[in-house]
Structure 1
Amino acid sequence: MAYGQSTKWRKLLKFWPLYLMMLPTIVLLLINNYLPIAGLIIAFKNVNYVDGVFGSPWNGLNNFKFLFSTRDAWIITRNTLLYNAVFIASNIIVALIFALMLNELRSRWLPKFYQASMFFPFFLSMVVVSYLVFAFLSKGNGFVNNNLLPLFGMEPISWYQEPKYWPFILPLINIWKNAGYYTVFFVASMVTISHEYYEAAVIDGASKWQQAIRITLPQLMPLVTVLTLLQIGRIFYADFGLFYQVPLNSGAIYSTTNVIDTYVYRALLTLGDFGMSSAAAFYQSVVGFVLVFLSNYIVRKLDRENALF
């Protein structure tokens, strides 16, 4: 055995406990993330139960035509992109505002209480959230129709029959559920900012607002960039529970609540075409992959240090 190979084996034997600790994670990664990649062939096959996945005949790109040949293709693509763009921007902005406010609290316990309160909705199932929303928006017994609208002399609104309100309702629900989650990231990042910056700013006569704009926000920009890039990678994916459970699958508001995920799910229930649903998932993944690299390339051109890779 050559000397170089012998040295490699000695290193492997020396650190074998570390490699043994890595083994469960590697196995889990292979099973959950890499083995399912073989299932991508379903997107190009006319799957039937008799021949199985690998024995079914090839279908070319016919499964992909389903997404682009229907009259709803533009609507679901538009809804998915615009909603996710609003979600990305609103979650980041609202979380930054909350984090800046929490950073100014001098009490020892209040910041922890507020963080826990804002983080709690993130753990709620969308089924639970849908019932909470229904308690507010129900036409007969809803809090909004029975308590708020009469104060302004307005008639009850059939919220689940009026599509024009949902482009505002869904972003508000998303912010309520997820803003606290992102706030935790920003608060944790603020802890690492050196107090010397703020002390120097106070000596120079900087106000709290100037400290936030000139010190805190620039220090948080790398984290903002990373979170934004990660979310851009899933801009063609929608929160299925938000768009399916919360609107209660009401057909009257499909024009503003129907997205790629819910459309494919309903089509799968109706047609039972696994090839079509797999093609949609493959299409979403490829577009997300390209968008992440494109966005990261633009960030690298503007500021190399803030790029994800």
Structure 2
Amino acid sequence: MKLQPVLGKEPKVLEPTIKTRRKKNSFFRNLMKYKVLYLMLSPGVIFLLINNYLPMFGVIIAFKNVNYRDGILHSPWSGFENFRYLFSTSDAWEITRNTLAYNSVFILLNLLIGVGIAILLNEVKNKYASKIFQSVMLLPYFLSMIVISYLVLAFLGRDSGFINATVFPALGIEPLDWYSEPKFWPYILPLVNTWKNIGYYVVIYLAAVVGIDEEYYEAAVLDGANKWKQIKHITIPFLYPLMIIMTLMQIGKIFSADFGLFYQVPMESGALFPVTNVLDTYVYRTFLVGGDMGMSSAAGLYQAVVGFGLVLISNSIVRKINSDNALF
């Protein structure tokens, strides 16, 4: 039976209300069904909110002339003055160049050396030897940068360093004051960074290599493929998605330098500032030591925005080439 309009009004349609109720009931049913999983998920979500999202309130500091008397909310707005000063300094080009150049080298070395060593370790069939190699490589990753800075000093010290006191005399070379020679540090810093962090990337890539089905290699052997062809046509293609994800994650931090590496390892030598001064150390020396919260916050926001933009651009390029390998 059809509903007739009453006093010129159209009859109410109840279907959307019924659908809404069904969705709500379905949501609550799923919530109760998977309540244990949601409970297990909640600590991670709470941690993420507290450590990653609540601090975003501090972004407004970058646009304010903060003074401690009025507090953050009541301090006067400064617009983009903090950013203008950051880019108008004489060191702006130097710190930007150093930050981008070093991080680009780090990304490349972590990718090539990490994948290469992971493939080599996979060929070690003795499980005890493999575990020892992995442990030895991963150990530096857990060392403090202060400890590493003194290890570097033990090698490069002017009077008692291993190279000056042992290696150079044996070769008939005059000792060098490494901490006053900027030309060597563009090579020293990538070497130290790779030694410290490569174990982390090796473990990740090795886990992916071990997960490749052995049947692919057996079929390749039957077809007459040697070890190099197996790596080229089986191992590397299977590692592509992980390699892209790891690279994109590092690109997101390309404007954020390792403060300990560039501050502790060179021992705060002023002679090395032209090649060791990066955005993080510059912010520390110029703004944080001087107590200028607005300038340091502006630099941090600049790093985050540029890193986010680079990740979006890189991911869009990867998506155009192969959408299956894109991060999102």
TM range (shorter): over 0.9
Summarize deviations over 1:120-178 as a string: whole Å, max 9, x none. Answer: 00000000000000000000100011111223221110000111000000000011011
Summarize deviations over 1:7-39 as a string: whole Å, max 9, x none. Answer: 433443343333333333322222111111111
**Residues 1:190 and 2:203 are matched in the alignment:** no
What's the counterpart of residue 111 of structure 1?
Answer: 130
Please say if residues 240 and 262 of structure 1, whose CA atoms lie closer than 8 Å, have aligned partners that are also in contact.
Answer: yes
Number of matched residues? 309
In structure 2, what residue type is equivalent to 1:171?
P
In structure 1, what residue type is equivalent to 2:48?
L
In structure 2, what residue type is equivalent to 1:245?
Q
Distance in 1 separating the partners of 2:96 and 2:191: 21
What's the counterpart of residue 118 of structure 2?
Answer: 99
Please say if residues 79 and 256 of structure 1, whose CA atoms lie closer than 8 Å, have aligned partners that are also in contact.
Answer: yes
What's the counterpart of residue 154 of structure 2?
Answer: 135
What's the counterpart of residue 90 of structure 1?
Answer: 109
In structure 2, what residue type is equivalent to 1:257?
T
More off after superposition, 163-172 vs 152-161: 152-161
In structure 2, what residue type is equivalent to 1:308?
L
TM-score (norm: length of structure 2): 0.91
Please say if residues 67 and 73 of structure 1, whose CA atoms lie closer than 8 Å, have aligned partners that are also in contact.
Answer: yes
Distance in 1 separating the partners of 2:66 and 2:160: 47
User: Residue 18 and residue 201 in structure 1: after superposition, are their counterparts in 2 closer, same or farther (change >3 A)?
Assistant: closer
**Residues 1:282 and 2:293 are matched in the alignment:** no
Aligned match for 2:41, one of 22, 39, 63: 22
Aligned match for 2:260, one of 200, 223, 241: 241
Equivalent residues in 2 for 1:138-149 (5 A)? 138-149=157-168
Please say if residues 47 and 274 of structure 1, whose CA atoms lie closer than 8 Å, have aligned partners that are also in contact.
Answer: yes
**Residues 1:155 and 2:174 are matched in the alignment:** yes
Three-state SS of the structure 2 residue aligned to 1:237 is coil
TM-score (norm: length of structure 1): 0.96
User: Residue 151 and residue 295 in structure 1: after superposition, are their counterparts in 2 closer, same or farther (change >3 A)?
Assistant: same
Three-state SS of the structure 2 residue aligned to 1:234 is coil
User: Residue 125 and residue 206 in structure 1: after superposition, are their counterparts in 2 closer, same or farther (change >3 A)?
Assistant: same
What's the counterpart of residue 304 of structure 1?
Answer: 323
User: Residue 125 and residue 6 in structure 1: after superposition, are their counterparts in 2 closer, same or farther (change >3 A)?
Assistant: same
CA RMSD of aligned residues (A): 1.4
Please say if residues 288 and 296 of structure 2, whose CA atoms lie closer than 8 Å, have aligned partners that are also in contact.
Answer: no
User: Residue 187 and residue 154 in structure 1: after superposition, are their counterparts in 2 closer, same or farther (change >3 A)?
Assistant: same
Distance in 2 separating the partners of 1:18 and 1:214: 40
In structure 1, what residue type is equivalent to 2:210?
V
**Residues 1:199 and 2:212 are matched in the alignment:** no
Deviation at 1:269, TM superposition (A): 4.2
What's the counterpart of residue 210 of structure 1?
Answer: 229
What's the counterpart of residue 248 of structure 2?
Answer: 229
More off after superposition, 81-90 vs 144-153: 144-153
Summarize deviations over 1:36-85 as a string: whole Å, max 9, x none. Answer: 11110000000000100111000000111222111110000000000000
Distance in 2 separating the partners of 1:208 and 1:11: 50
Percentage identity across paired residues of the two chains: 57
Unaligned 5+ residue runs, structure 2? 1-16
Please say if residues 92 and 179 of structure 1, whose CA atoms lie closer than 8 Å, have aligned partners that are also in contact.
Answer: no
Deviation at 1:275, TM superposition (A): 0.4
In the TM superposition, structure 1's runs of 4+ consecutive aligned residues that sit over 4 Å from their partners are none
